[in-house]
Amino acid sequence: MSVRIHIPPTLREWAGNADKEVIVQPGSVQDALIQLADRHPAAYRGVCDETGAVRRHVNLFVNDSLVRTPADFERTLSPGDELFIMPAVSGG
């Protein structure tokens, strides 16, 4: 079984117009992001900066838990888990 990374509409073009999700192998949250970078580098750059840190305007969730601290990125993902990329929305 695998882990699903849900790609928001704003990043799908950078993921080669991939479907709404990318399937990766279980590992840590960081491992999932590395797999995303390997397959869709432009989408990864929309999520993480050049140091590998998640951009300030992007939130990550594993299932319903916010990923924020360094320990959260080491969290082991189990088969069937879902990683959601949630960019901030702003405007007037």
Is 58 inside any structural domain?
yes
pTM, full prediction: 0.88
User: Which pLDDT belongs to residue 18?
Assistant: 64
Percentage above 70 pLDDT, the chain: 95
Domain count, the chain: 1
Instruction: Identify the CATH number of the domain in which residue 37 sits.
Output: 3.10.20.30
| Backbone φ and ψ of 55, nearest 5° | -60, 150
Is 71 inside any structural domain?
yes
CB contact at 8 A, 44 and 55: no
pLDDT band at 91 (very low <50, low <70, confident <90, very high): low
> How many C-beta neighbours within 10 Å does residue 42 have?
12
Is 92 inside any structural domain?
no
Rounded to an integer, the average pLDDT of 6-27 is 84
Range of the domain at 62: 3-87
